[in-house]
Amino acid sequence: MLIDSNIVIYSIQPGHEFLDHWLARDDTSFSVITQIEVLGFPQLTDSQRTRFEDLFQAATIVQMDEAVTQECIRLRRERRIKLADAIIAATALTHRLPLVTRNVEDFAGVPGLEIINPFDA
C-alpha cells in the first residue's frame, strides 16, 4: 500500500498513535513526493525529522519513472488535481497499490484508484 503524506504528518499529532500501525506494516511504501513533502514540512522538530528520516530509510520509496510520469500527465489532463496529488495517485495506479489517505476528496473520481481512509476504521 502507498501512504499519503498527510498520514505521515498526522502520525506525530497527539491522539493519532493508531496511524503507527499503518506506517509499520510490511507492505507499506511511499511515493518519493511524500518523502519530499514530509521532510520539507517546515514545522517538524529535529526529533520528528529524524523519526521520519528513519522511517523513509527503512521503507520502500517508489520513485517516479516513465510509467508514473505518463500516468500523472494523463491524470492532470483529465482531472483538476494538484501536481503532488497527481504524482501520488499515478504512483498508486501504476504500481497497483491502494492509497492510504485522509484526504479522500483530493482523489475522488480517479478511476481505478483504491482509497483507504484509516480514520474511518
On whether the CB atoms of residues 71 and 87 are closer than 8 A, the answer is: no
- Would the pLDDT of 109 be above 90? no
Q: What's the pTM?
A: 0.92
Superfamily of domain 2-113: 5'-nuclease (3.40.50.1010)
Stretch 98-113: mean pLDDT: 94
Q: How high is the pLDDT of residue 121?
A: 64
Nearest to 110 by CA among 92, 89, 88: 89
Q: Name the residue among 41, 47, 42 with its Cα closest to residue 8.
A: 41
Q: What does the domain layout of the chain look like in residue ranges?
A: 2-113
> Using one digit for the tens of pLDDT, what is the confidence trace for 11-36?
999 999 999 999 999 899 999 999 99
